[in-house]
Amino acid sequence: MKKADLAKSDAKKIMNQMGTRSASFGAGDAAPADRREQRDRDRDRDRALGLVPFAVKLNGDLVARLQALAGERGVDMNRLVDELLRKGLDG
């Protein structure tokens, strides 16, 4: 057996051992919330608040400025963009 083949074989053995251990690791822990259920709850909450997803593509420099402004004001990006759009449309 060549040296490279031996190394590949060893690597496969290690990966197999890691796979069997990871399957049993944390098996006694409580199951995390189902992601689909969490998305559905979030979507229902947003609908109840009248929120609608609205995706846009913006220049990276503009996004950096928005993130900095949101950080200065201590608000999340959704709230900041909502405020700026309302001011822009009303003004």
Taking only the tens place, the pLDDT of each residue in 75-90 is 999 999 999 999 999 9
pLDDT score, position 29: 54
Of 13, 34, 15, 33, the C-alpha closest to 23 is 15
Write down the pLDDT at residue 17.
78
* The two three-digit tokens of residue 5, written as one number: 């083949």
CATH architecture of 52-91: Orthogonal Bundle (1.10)
The per-residue pLDDT for 91 is 79
Q: How far is CA 10 from CA 3, 5, 15, 23, in A?
A: 11, 9, 9, 20
pTM above 0.75, yes or no: no
The domains of the chain are located at 52-91
The residues, ordered by sequence, that sit 6+ positions from 83 with a Cβ below 8 Å of its Cβ are 75
